[in-house]
Amino acid sequence: MEQKAVDIATIGRISAVPAMLKVISDMTGLRFAAVARVTDDTWTACAVLDQLEFGLGVGGELDLTTTICHEIRGSHVSVVIDKASEDPLYHDHHTPRMYHFESYISVPVFRTDGRFFGTICALDPNPAPLRSSTIQSTMESFARVLSLQIEAEEALQNTQAQLQEERGTAELREQFIAVLGHDLRNPLFAINFGAERLLRKHPNPATDTLVRHILTSGRRASQLVEDVLDFARGRMGSGIPLHLNDCQDLQDALQHVVLEVQSVNPQRLIQADIGDLRGVYGDRDRLAQLLSNLVANAIHHGSHDGPVEVTARVEDDQFTLTVKNPGQIDELALPRLFQPYSRPVKDTPQAGLGLGLYIVKQIADAHGGQLEVSSCAQTGTLFTFTLKTR
C-alpha cells in the first residue's frame, strides 16, 4: 500500500478525529475543516468536515504550492486569518483569492519524533474573529493529541500480539481523550460565560445574533466534551458518577427533556405519556440524560414515518421508561448497538460523536437497572429501561 493510502487509513482509524473537526467547526463557525498530510510535493486530505460543499473529500489532493499549508511546512508556525481581504500579510496572497475564503486557521501537526506530518486547518468564505478566541491553543492541543494517536495507531499495526496491543492502545486513547476533555473545559467555560455576559450586560442588536450563535456553538461543544468525558470514565473503569437521592421532581425533569428536544426538532412529533414518578431513587440528571440520548437517537436514526413515543411510569415497585420510534435497526448492528463508535465507517466525519447509546448503557448499568432493545419492521424499535424502586 502506498504511503498516502497508509496515512489516510491511519487517520481514519482514529475515532477522535471527527470529534476534533466537529468541535473546531462549532467553536469557530468555519464550515470546512480538515486534517491534511503535507509532504514535499503533495497536500492530501485525510479527514474532512465539509458543510460548504467545498468539493474536497478524503483522499482529495490540492496543488501544494497553492496552499498556505505549504508555507507552514517550512515555517512550522500556525497561521490565523480573521479577514483575508484586510489582512496586512494575506490581502494580496494567491491562496485566499484562489479558494475564495476570508477566515482561515491552520496549525502544524508533528510526529512524536519531531518530523512534520501535516496540518489541521479550517476556513470559511465569511470573516470570523479567530485571533480574539481560544481556538488556536485548542487546535494546537488537538495537534499534539493527534500526534500521539498517530503513533499509537502505527504501533498497533506493527505489533504481532494484536489483541494485547489493541487493549493497551485503546486505554492510551481514552486517557488522551479524558485529558483533552479536561483541557477544553476551561476555554469553553470562558467562551460561554463571556457570551452570556455580553447578552445580559451589553445587549447590542447589531451583534446579538452573532453572540447567540457563539453561545449556542459553545454549549454544543461543551456537551460534546461532557460526552467524551463520560465515555472515558466508562471505559477507564471508574464508571459514570451518580448523585443518588429520592427523585421527587423526576417527572418534571423528563417532561422538560421532551420539550427541549421537541423545540430543537419541530419537524418531528414526540408523544409523551409521563406519569407520577415519585418513589424513584437515582440520579435525576443522569436519568434525564438517558432519556435525552434515547430520544435524540430515535429522532436522528429512526424512520420519519411516525412519531417518537415516550412513556414513563412507576408500577409494582418498578420504574419503566420506554422510547419507541418507527423503523428497524439492522440485525447486524444490534449486537454492537451499545458499543462506542459502532457506526459504519464513511468517507467524511459524521455529526456527533457516536457515543449516545454507549452513555445510555453506562447510566443504566450504574443505576443497577436493565436496558433492552427490540426492533422489527412491523412494530418499529423499542428501548426499555427498568429500575427497581426502593
115 or 199, higher pLDDT: 115
Q: What is the pLDDT of residues 81-95, one digit of tens each?
A: 999 999 999 999 999
Q: Check residue 103 and report its DSSP letter.
A: E
With 80 as the cut, is the pLDDT of residue 200 above it? yes
351 pLDDT above the threshold of 50: no
| Nearest-angstrom CA–CA distance, 387 and 389 | 6
- Reply yes or no on whether the pLDDT at 185 is more than 70: no
Q: How far apart are CA 128 and CA 52, in angstroms?
A: 15
Among residues 67, 49, 61, which one has the least CA distance to residue 108? 67
In the three-class reduction of DSSP (H, G, I as helix; E, B as strand; rest coil), residue 108 is classed as: strand
Grid coordinates belonging to 44? 492530501
Give the confidence band of 345 by pLDDT, cuts at 50, 70, 90.
very low
C-alpha grid cell, residue 52: 460548504
Q: Do residues 199 and 215 lie in contact, with contact meaning Cβ atoms separated by under 8 Å? A: yes
176: amino acid identity, one letter: F
Dump strand ranges (E) for 182-307. 245-246, 270-274, 281-282
Q: Where is average pLDDT lowest: 152-156, 169-173, 383-387?
A: 169-173
Is there a contact between 76 and 116 (Cβ–Cβ < 8 Å)?
A: yes
Q: 10 versus 182: which is more confidently predicted? A: 10
Q: What residue ranges define each of the domains in the chain, with the CATH number in brackets?
A: 3-235 (3.30.450.40), 245-388 (3.30.565.10)
Cell numbers for 381: 424499535
287-320 residue pLDDT tens: 998 999 899 889 988 888 889 999 999 999 999 9
Compute the mean pLDDT over every residue in the chain, rounded to the nearest whole number.
86
**Which pLDDT does position 191 carry in this prediction?**
80
In this model, does residue 344 exceed pLDDT 60?
Answer: no
| Contacts with 24 (C-beta within 8 Å, 6 or more apart), sequence order | 30, 33, 49, 120, 122, 135, 138, 139, 142
- Is a pLDDT exceeding 60 seen at residue 122? yes
Identify the residue with better confidence: 149 or 345: 149
The predicted pLDDT at position 163 comes to 64
Q: Over the stretch 225-241, which tens digit does the pLDDT of each residue have? A: 767 666 666 665 556 77
Q: Is 44 exposed, middle or buried (0-12, 13-18, 19+ CB in 10 A)?
A: buried
CA dihedral 148, 152, 157, 162 (to 10 degrees): -170
Sheet holding 318-325, edge to edge: 270-274, 308-315, 318-325, 380-388, 370-376
Ranges 174-188, 198-212, 251-265, 326-340, most confident = 251-265
pLDDT of residue 157: 74
Given a contact cutoff of 8 angstroms between Cβ atoms, the answer to whether 254 and 287 are in contact is yes
- The more confident residue out of 280 and 185 is 280
The more confident residue out of 260 and 76 is 76
Q: Which of 343, 265, 356, 360 is nearest to 308 (CA)?
A: 265
